[in-house]
């Protein structure tokens, strides 16, 4: 039995996948299998993997060869998890540090806990405002590490393979960006699992999104995935994306007044003219606005239509 199953969904990002697998080949902990779940890629990924670049790689594909979304792709590994003690999640645009798996394995204490690693973001195209925001959010998560819960569950995580298998994996019906990790995190929490940060288990993740691209994805998440999640898990509403700001009449009114007085279009127009410490906070303001617009109004903000 191999100790760890590393599950990596990938779709048309071969250059980043190459870096990811190279980083895995340099892990100090060697007792693992990397399940590369190819989600209908058409960029030469399968041809590259057929050359068997690394012995630790096992390639999985959908029977129809089409794209089904990253959550369904991850579930391709479910039939193999009885062969492993643990499962680790990694995106194909991520570069784990050499001691990533060793750190997780050494920190693991109980079958009833989920370990959360640290995500750091970089851009190959130079300074990126959105990456600054994501790194700021990661620092906030670390400061609140003792309060870690389902909302912090994401790709750089580590848990019992049997628990993941018993839960049936990810919800493969969630195809668009966002909330697939959160939905599984909620089910893990409902099962009684505890979440614990292991900040030393670090992964660098490539991100090239502009603020406009990222906010558009949050808008679509609010429009499609968030209502689905609320219907599936009604109890999650109080805990996710402001909770009361989306569901309680008084708070919804306060939010409307706030966004009327401090117009998001104004905020967006001067993002690149303020210092970084203010940029990240204004982006957080716009993220909630984009989600609310998608969830409540199904209307794309005007400044994202350009």
Per-residue pLDDT reduced to its tens digit, 51-74? 888 999 999 999 999 999 999 999
Report the pLDDT value the prediction gives residue 241, as an integer from 0 to 100: 65
Alpha carbon distance 94, 154 (integer Å): 12
CATH of domain 2-206: 3.90.550.10
| DSSP category for residue 155 | S
Phi, psi of 205 (to 5 degrees): -125, 130
The ranges assigned to domains in the chain are 2-206, 211-304
Report the pLDDT value the prediction gives residue 261, as an integer from 0 to 100: 86
Report the pLDDT value the prediction gives residue 14, as an integer from 0 to 100: 94
Checking if the pLDDT of 286 tops 80, the result is yes
- pLDDT per position as a tens digit, 270-283: 898 999 999 999 99
Nearest to residue 200, comparing CAs of 118, 264, 279?
118
- What value does the mean pLDDT of the chain take? 91
Q: At 122, is the pLDDT very low, low, confident or very high (cuts 50, 70, 90)?
A: confident
Q: CB under 8 Å, gap of 24 or more: what pairs does 169-174 form?
A: 169/71, 169/74, 169/75, 169/78, 170/71, 170/72, 170/74, 170/75, 171/71, 171/232, 172/68, 172/69, 172/71, 172/72, 172/75, 173/228, 174/69, 174/71, 174/225, 174/228, 174/229
In b/e form, how buried is each residue of 208-245, taking b as 16+ CB within 10 angstroms? ebebbebbbebbbbbbbbbeebbeebeebbeebbbeee
- pLDDT per position as a tens digit, 194-226: 999 999 999 999 877 889 999 999 999 999 999
What is the reported pTM?
A: 0.93
Do the Cβ atoms of 179 and 229 come closer than 8 Å? yes
Listed in sequence order, the DSSP H helices in 221-263 are: 226-232, 244-247, 249-261
Report the pLDDT value the prediction gives residue 1, as an integer from 0 to 100: 64
- pLDDT per position as a tens digit, 77-121: 999 999 999 999 999 999 999 999 999 999 999 999 999 999 998
Alpha carbon distance 84, 160 (integer Å): 9
Pairing of strands 84-89, 157-160: antiparallel
C-alpha torsion angle, residues 291, 296, 298, 304 (rounded to 10): -40
Checking if the pLDDT of 30 tops 70, the result is yes
């Amino acid at each position: 039995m191999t100790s760890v199953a590393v599950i990596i969904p990938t779709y048309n990002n071969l250059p980043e996948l190459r870096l990811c697998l190279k980083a895995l080949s340099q892990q100090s902990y060697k007792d693992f299998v990397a399940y590369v779940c190819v989600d209908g890629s058409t960029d030469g990924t399968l041809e590259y993997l057929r050359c068997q670049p690394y012995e630790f790689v096992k390639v999985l594909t959908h029977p129809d060869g089409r794209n089904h979304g990253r959550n369904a792709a991850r579930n391709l590994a479910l039939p193999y998890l009885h062969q492993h003690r643990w499962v680790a999640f990694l995106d194909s645009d991520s570069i784990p540090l050499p001691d990533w798996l060793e750190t997780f394995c050494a920190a693991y204490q109980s079958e009833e806990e989920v370990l959360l690693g640290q995500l750091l973001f970089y851009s190959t195209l130079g300074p990126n405002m959105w990456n600054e925001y994501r790194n700021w959010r990661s620092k906030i998560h670390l400061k609140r590490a003792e309060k870690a819960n389902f909302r912090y569950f994401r790709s750089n995580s580590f848990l019992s393979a049997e628990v993941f298998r018993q839960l049936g994996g990810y919800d493969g019906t969630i195809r668009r960006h966002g909330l697939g990790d959160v939905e599984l995190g909620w089910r893990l929490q409902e099962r009684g699992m505890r979440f614990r940060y292991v900040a030393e288990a670090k992964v660098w993740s490539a991100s090239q999104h502009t603020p406009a691209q990222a906010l558009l994805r949050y808008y679509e998440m609010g429009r499609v995935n968030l209502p689905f999640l609320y219907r599936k898990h009604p109890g999650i509403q109080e805990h996710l994306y402001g909770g009361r700001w989306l569901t309680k009449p008084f708070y919804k009114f306060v939010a409307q007044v706030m966004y009327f007085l401090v117009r998001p279009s104004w905020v967006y127009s001067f993002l690149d003219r303020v210092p970084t410490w203010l940029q990240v906070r204004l982006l957080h303001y716009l993220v909630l606005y984009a989600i609310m617009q998608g969830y409540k109004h199904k209307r794309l903000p005007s400044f994202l239509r350009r």
